[in-house]
Structure 1
C-alpha cells in the first residue's frame, strides 16, 4: 500500500517540545528549555537523552554562568547535518530544488526547465533534479529520506493530492504518490504559500510568534496565517485568503468570479494588463511597466498605487480579524516594492483597528530557492506529531 506520510521522529510530547524549540531557537540550556516549555528539568533531561543518543542533539562546551550562579551549563544544540531534506518548488516552466539540513539551512540548489508541464514530465524532471542534488555531496544520499513539495493550488496535504492548480492546469493529481515512485523518498506536498509560511514561521522572521501572517504579491495574491502556533487551514482548507477579500464591490471581475477582490486589482498580471491597455502596447513586459512607473508614467504609477492601496486594505482586514504579531510581505512582485510600499503602508494604517495597528509589516524578498526551502521545511515539520506548540511559545 502506498504511504507518503513520514513517521514522526519524536512522539512523546516532551521530546517534541524540546526538539522543536531547539530547531527554531537553539542552542539553549536545559534550564532555559525547562522555562520555555514548562517541563521540569528532569523531564527535559529525560526527553533530550534519546535525541542525543541518536545524534540529533549534542552538548556544547560548558558556558560560565554569572558569579555565584552555580556550576557552568552545557547548552544543547541541534546536529543540523544529522539528516537532510530535499525541498522543491514546482512552477509552470521550471522545477527548483534545494537540499536543506535539519534547521532548514540551504546546502545545495539546482533547477530544471520544463518544456511541458504535465504530471509525467514534472515527475521525470523531479527524479533527475533529486538525483543531481543528492549526488552533489557524499553525505546527502545516505542521510536523506524525505522530500517536501511546494506547489500552487488546492492541496490535500493528508492524502498528498493536488486537488486543483489553475497555474499548472492540473486537477486531482496524486502528486505525493507520483513523486515517491519517481524518487524513492517519502513525500509531503503543501500549497506553496503555506510552505513558505512554515519556513518563515519556524526558521525565519516568524520565530517566536504565536500569531503570524505572510502575504505574497505576484501573478496572484497569496497569504497564509499562523494562529496559536498552528498553520490555519479552516474547515475547507482556504482560510486566510487575503487575495479574495473584496475591497471594491464595483471593481473589476476576479478570476474567482467575484468583483473587486484584492487580486483583481493588485496582481502583477492585472497591473501589466492595465498598463498595456493604457499605453496601447500589448507587447510590454512587466519589467518595462516597472521602469515606466519609476520614470513617472502616470498610468503606470497609478496602477501600482491602486494595487498598493488594495493590498494595504486587505492586510488590514486580515490583521483586524486575527491580530498577528508580524506580517511579512513577499513574492516575485516585491521587486517593484518601491512602487507599492507607501500606498500599502498608508492604506494599512488607515484601516487597521486600534491596537491591531501595532502589528509590523516587513518586506522579505525571497528568491526561488527560498520557496524550495519552504518545501523542505514542510518535510521537516511532518516529522513531528501535531500540534507543535513549543516552537512558537504559544499555548
Structure 2
C-alpha cells in the first residue's frame, strides 16, 4: 500500500470546519447565508473561506439568480468535490464493502469481498486488499486519497479507533484504527456503523437541514444514530442511541447483551428467524425465507412480524419522549419487511409518544448497502476537515 501521508487541510480559524461543512451540505451557498447558518459575522466568514478558496477546496461562482447582499454581488460558494478522495469501509459479520468517494462523498468506485475469517488479522487482510484496489483506482483520478474510514457495529471509541465490542465480529478491545493506519500509512477513522451512516444522512440525505433527528436502522441488529442540536452524539461512554437494547418485555427472549426482551431480541432479522421457526415448526433458513412465509399468509409468521413492529414502535416512542426530534428516519435491510410491520410501528409509536411528541414525523428511507460504506467515508472527511469533535459533532444548521 501507499505510505505517503496526505497533505493537511489548510490552517484555519476555529470557524473553518463549521463553515466548510455548511458549504459541503448546503452549497452552493452565499456568504450571507453561511453567516446566518453559522451564527458568525460576515467578516469571520470571509476570513475562513479565503484560505479554502486559495487551496482549491472551495470554488466561487457567480450567483445571477441570487439576491445581492449589502450592495455586493451574491456569489455562491461550493465545495470542489474533485479536490480530494476518501475511502470508506463497512465491515459486517460476513462481508466487507469499500467505496472510493470524492470530497462531496459521492461514490466513484465500489468493491466487495466476503469475510471467511472474522478475526482482526483476517478482517485487516481482506479489507487491506480492498483498500489497495481502491488506491490503484484513485491514481486514475489524479487526486490523492486523504483518509480512510471504517464503520463497524458495536461499541467503538472514535477518539483512538478502538473497537471495544462488536457482537457480529466477536471482537473485544481491538485497536483497529492503529493497525489499519500502520498498514496503509494513511489517517484512519473508526466509527460505529450507525453513527457513520447518520453523518452521511445529516450532510447529504434525509436528515439534511434538520437540527434534531434520529436514524433507526433495522436488520441484523437494531441501531440508532442521534443528532441533537446539529451534532451527532455518542454520549459520555460512546453508546448513546442504543435503542436496540431497550428492554421492551422483561419476560421476553434473551438478548446477547445479557438482558431479556430487548428490541433487538424481538425485532432484528436473526430474532425474527428464530421466532418464526419456533412458532411455525418450519426451518426457515434466513430472513428472506421467513419473509416469504409471512407474505404467503402464514398466520404465525405474520404475528412475529407484527410483534417486531410493535417493539420498534414502542422504542421509537420512548426515544421521541426523551429527545423530541423533528424526525425519526427508519432504514436498514430490515425494511424489506416494511409492509408487514409498518402499521404496527406507527400504532405503537402513537400510543407511546407523550402529548405533542406524537407530532414527530416517522418516515422510512431505504438505502443501498453501499450507503454504510459511504458513511464511513463521511467520517474520514470529518476527520480531515477537523469537524469531528469529542461529542461526535459533524454538522451545523
Q: TM-score, normalised by structure 1?
A: 0.92
Task: Give the SS at the match of 1:92.
Answer: coil
Asked if residue 391 in structure 1 is aligned to residue 391 in structure 2, the reply is no
Matches within 5 A, 1:115-264: 115-140=116-141, 142-264=143-265
Task: Give the SS at the match of 2:215.
Answer: strand
Give a deviation string over 1:274-323, Cα, whole Å, max 9, x none.
Answer: 11122222243321211111121101100000000010000000010001
Higher mean C-alpha deviation, range 323-332 or range 56-65: 56-65
Give a deviation string over 1:122-160, Cα, whole Å, max 9, x none.
Answer: 112222111211222435574212000001121111111
CA distance in 2, matches of 1:52, 1:126: 35
Task: Give the SS at the match of 2:151.
Answer: strand
Q: Is the 8 A contact 1:134 1:141 kept in 2?
A: no
Asked if residue 282 in structure 1 is aligned to residue 287 in structure 2, the reply is no
Task: Give the SS at the match of 2:169.
Answer: coil
Task: Give the SS at the match of 1:145.
Answer: strand
Give a deviation string over 1:10-31, Cα, whole Å, max 9, x none.
Answer: 6412322321100110111112
Higher mean C-alpha deviation, range 298-307 or range 73-82: 73-82
Task: Give the SS at the match of 1:147.
Answer: strand
From the superposition, tell whether residues 67 and 212 of structure 1 become closer, same or farther in structure 2 (CA, over 3 Å). Answer: closer
Unaligned runs of 5+ in 2: none
Match of 2:356 in 1: 355
CA distance in 1, matches of 2:239, 2:213: 16
CA distance in 1, matches of 2:340, 2:350: 17
CA distance in 1, matches of 2:97, 2:43: 44
Task: Give the SS at the match of 2:137.
Answer: coil
Match of 2:272 in 1: 271
Q: Is the 8 A contact 2:63 2:75 kept in 1?
A: yes
Match of 1:344 in 2: 345
Structure 1 residue 69: deviation in Å?
Answer: 8.4
- Between Structure 1 and Structure 2, how many residues are aligned? 390
CA distance in 1, matches of 2:393, 2:234: 16
Match of 2:334 in 1: 333
Give a deviation string over 1:201-255, Cα, whole Å, max 9, x none.
Answer: 1221111222111111112211121112222222222122111112222222222
Q: TM-score, normalised by structure 2?
A: 0.92
Match of 1:302 in 2: 303
Task: Give the SS at the match of 2:87.
Answer: strand
Q: Is the 8 A contact 1:84 1:144 kept in 2?
A: yes
Higher mean C-alpha deviation, range 291-300 or range 59-68: 59-68
Structure 1 residue 73: deviation in Å?
Answer: 2.2
RMSD over aligned Cα atoms: 2.3
